[in-house]
Amino acid sequence: MSSFTPDSPLVTEVVPSPNHGERRQVRAPDMLILHYTGMPDSQAALQRLCEAAAQVSAHYFVFEDGRIVQCVAESRRAWHAGLARWGTATDINSHSIGIEIANPGHCYGYPDFPPQQIAAVIALCRDILARHAVPPHHVLAHSDVAPARKEDPGEKFPWPALHAAGIGLWVAPAPLDLPGSAIKPGEAGPTVERLQAALRRYGYGLEPTATYDAQTAAVVKAFQRHFRPARVDGTADPSTRRTLADLLAARGLDSEV
């Protein structure tokens, strides 16, 4: 594997991965996708990203102690998102820069992200955003672009801290005890269709069917993990819907939910 000059001065080491290619019909990245590694050993996770047989990679890897490794040049298409969608984009790998954050994930106890790691992620994101035109609503979780398959970086990831540093879009989540009725899996009708349309308007890959099916529940869970993490249950309660409406309004979009 040939080495390359790191794109960021924050990189402590380049560990090249062979798993990359040309960006397809995209001149420059316009999304930033954050992942957790989901493996109990961070060094093994980095090694996997650099094994040809694994067919996966990411541009950056952030260890628990804040060390930043670059595996793929930003000009190249890393293989981190898999089958994914955001808005009209279906080749998320071509559109994005991917950051893997060392954390065992939900299957291995899901510990908190250490402060020094989050500080490094924030610094790296700010550095990337200084070079690339990534709008705030395109700073996303892996679970946002692949809600039926992924749940990383999960509800413990501190999105408000990133937003306070000028990274991503965030509004204060509406209170859990907001009055009103919930829209639940299995329901059908116009209220479900409005919910689906609102999630799609924000960017989630969801077709309005007027039926609260498994795909809708997965998208609601992904939304909750990112924007209303106090309760992740796939039910569109008033708190979830108000938070979604506030995010749509923050983008200047129709906020009907």
Residues in the chain: 257
Domain ranges of the chain: 13-164, 190-250
Average pLDDT by stretches of 10, the chain with 257 residues? 89 97 93 98 98 97 98 97 95 98 98 98 98 97 98 98 98 97 97 98 95 98 98 98 98 96
pLDDT at 219: 98
CATH class of 190-250: mainly alpha
Residues 71, 98: Cα–Cα separation, whole Å: 10
pLDDT at 3: 87
CA distances from 138 to 19, 75, 144, 148 (A): 23, 18, 10, 19
Residue 175: φ, ψ to 5°: -60, 145
pTM for the structure as a whole: 0.97
Residue 138: φ, ψ to 5°: -105, 10
User: Is 100 one of the annotated active-site residues of the chain?
Assistant: yes
- Architecture of the structural domain at 13-164: 3-Layer(aba) Sandwich (3.40)
Catalytic residue among 74, 100, 151, 155: 100
pLDDT at 1: 52
